[in-house]
Structure 1
Amino acid sequence: MRLAIIPARGGSKRIPRKNIKDFNGKPMMGWSIEAALLSGAFDEVWVSTDDAEIASVAQSFGATVPFIRPVELSDDHTGTSAVVRHAINWALQQQLNPEFVACIYATAPLLQPQMLKAAMTQLQNDPALDYVFSGCRFSFPIQRALYRTELGRVQPVDPASIPKRSQDLPETFHDAGQFYCGRAQSWLDAKAVFSQHSYLYELPQHLVQDIDTADDWLRAELLHQLLLKSS
């Protein structure tokens, strides 16, 4: 069984009700649900939530809400992995047997179905992998980053890298925060996502945007509008 799990709790603080707030004409998580369903990469698409309204919206977009997430897994301190493990264990209790499980964030409106399909294929075809996750390269060499004091003074993070040419510094990447495809047992064993047994599926920079502030939201909407126009 190939299972997609979309965590979507109701208690977002920085952007209230972020998971179902309107984003270019749809509730935010509607875009993630549609990407998962259109990818054809999953047998089931579940939403894990503690919130009745979110559950209703999820079902209206075709996702399954098989349970209401326990309160103890719905606070500000609960990590994504714990939520995924809970869903897998619930599935096992129902005599289901998920083998590959993807965690897809509800706030990933730039996610494209073909990316999920390719990532799942990569995972299924390479038995050495625990996970395949979305990543993106830094646009500027992080080795030449600067610290800034309260007085506005600066200090290089790595002084030895400052005089080097950008092309002489190794490329670096960051977690794109859109999806994490893994083997069910790897999730259950709490294996680290960022390790030698994970594959970074690179996303283009114009399809990556954290959405934690009002400015983030606006930029993501503008990028998404351009994406819709070009499709």
Structure 2
Amino acid sequence: MILATICCRGGSRGVPNKNIKLLNGEPLIVHTIRQALASNYIDELIISTDSEQIAEIAKAAGAKVPFMRPADLASDTSSKWPVFIHAVEYFEQSIDGEIDLLVDLDVTVPLKTTADIDGAIVAAKNSNSALVTITGYEPERNPYFNMMEVREDGLAQLVKKSDKPIVRRQDAPEVYSLSPAAFVMKRKALYDYAHWSEAPCQIYPMPRERAVDIDSQFDFELVEFLMKKK
């Protein structure tokens, strides 16, 4: 049983009402709902939100909103981990059973495709060691080569040090920038770990051009430009 969640709070600091702001003529959340509904592996899609407006838009797009998220899980400081557990337990009570995988899809990565989502699900299903599968892309910066942090003494040093200086980025260890396009978690991870980063993780690579994460008005305009260009 594979359950997908889209977790959206009402309001946004970076972009007002970001989750339902029109992107290329459709509310932002609708793009992800359609991608999820087209999946070959997702058995059920539910929305976790504290906003009646988001709930109505989601329902009109074909998603289910079986509950309204409690206020204590909908603040600016709320972690998503207990939000996942709340959604899973509510759903499992309704089916009188347990899920195998939870797939959380972030609406702020609207250029992702259903193939990206399904690829991450397949990678999670096929792994015997990873409990969390995360989409990611190859970044333009590498912490072993051209990323520095400022120390307390005001001087800067490479974020990650290697035994020998790395003179070409191509020689640096492989790293990924995480994208919230899809987080695929085995049920066990939710209860054995306090946060996804503590669990055994693997990366499912996706193209950088589909991994743009909307966090500002500039990002919003960039994504809309890319959609129209496509």
TM-score (norm 1): 0.88
Tell me the amino acid that sits aligned with residue 7 of structure 2: P
3-state SS, counterpart of residue 39 of structure 1 = coil
| Deviation by residue 1:83-131 (Cα, 9 ceiling, x = unmatched) | 1111011122222422111111122211100111121112122232212
Q: How many residues align?
A: 224
Tell me the amino acid that sits aligned with residue 128 of structure 1: S
2:44 aligned with 1:44, yes or no? yes
Residue of structure 2 in register with 1:83 after alignment:
83
**Which is worse superposed, 217-226 or 8-17?**
217-226
Query: CA separation in 2, counterparts of 1:45 and 1:140?
Result: 35
Kindly state the Cα deviation for residue 162 of structure 1 after the two structures are TM-superposed: 7.1
**Which is worse superposed, 116-125 or 2-11?**
116-125
Residue of structure 1 in register with 2:147 after alignment:
145
Query: CA separation in 2, counterparts of 1:34 and 1:145?
Result: 37
Kindly state the Cα deviation for residue 201 of structure 1 after the two structures are TM-superposed: 0.4
Query: CA separation in 2, counterparts of 1:37 and 1:106?
Result: 14
Residue of structure 2 in register with 1:27 after alignment:
27
Is the contact between residue 166 and residue 172 of structure 2 (CA under 8 Å) also seen in structure 1?
no
Tell me the amino acid that sits aligned with residue 66 of structure 1: P
RMSD in angstroms over aligned alpha carbons?
2.3
3-state SS, counterpart of residue 56 of structure 2 = helix
Is the contact between residue 41 and residue 116 of structure 1 (CA under 8 Å) also seen in structure 2?
no
3-state SS, counterpart of residue 4 of structure 1 = strand
Is the contact between residue 132 and residue 199 of structure 1 (CA under 8 Å) also seen in structure 2?
yes
3-state SS, counterpart of residue 213 of structure 2 = coil
Identity across matched positions, percent? 28
2:115 aligned with 1:117, yes or no? no
| Deviation by residue 1:142-179 (Cα, 9 ceiling, x = unmatched) | 33224589xxx984435888771222222321211211
Q: Which runs of 5 or more residues in structure 1 are unaligned?
A: none
Is the contact between residue 81 and residue 196 of structure 2 (CA under 8 Å) also seen in structure 1?
no
3-state SS, counterpart of residue 142 of structure 1 = coil
Residue of structure 2 in register with 1:8 after alignment:
8
Query: CA separation in 1, counterparts of 2:3 and 2:32?
Result: 14
Tell me the amino acid that sits aligned with residue 102 of structure 1: V
Query: CA separation in 2, counterparts of 1:162 and 1:198?
Result: 28
Query: CA separation in 2, counterparts of 1:8 and 1:53?
Result: 11
Query: CA separation in 2, counterparts of 1:185 and 1:44?
Result: 19
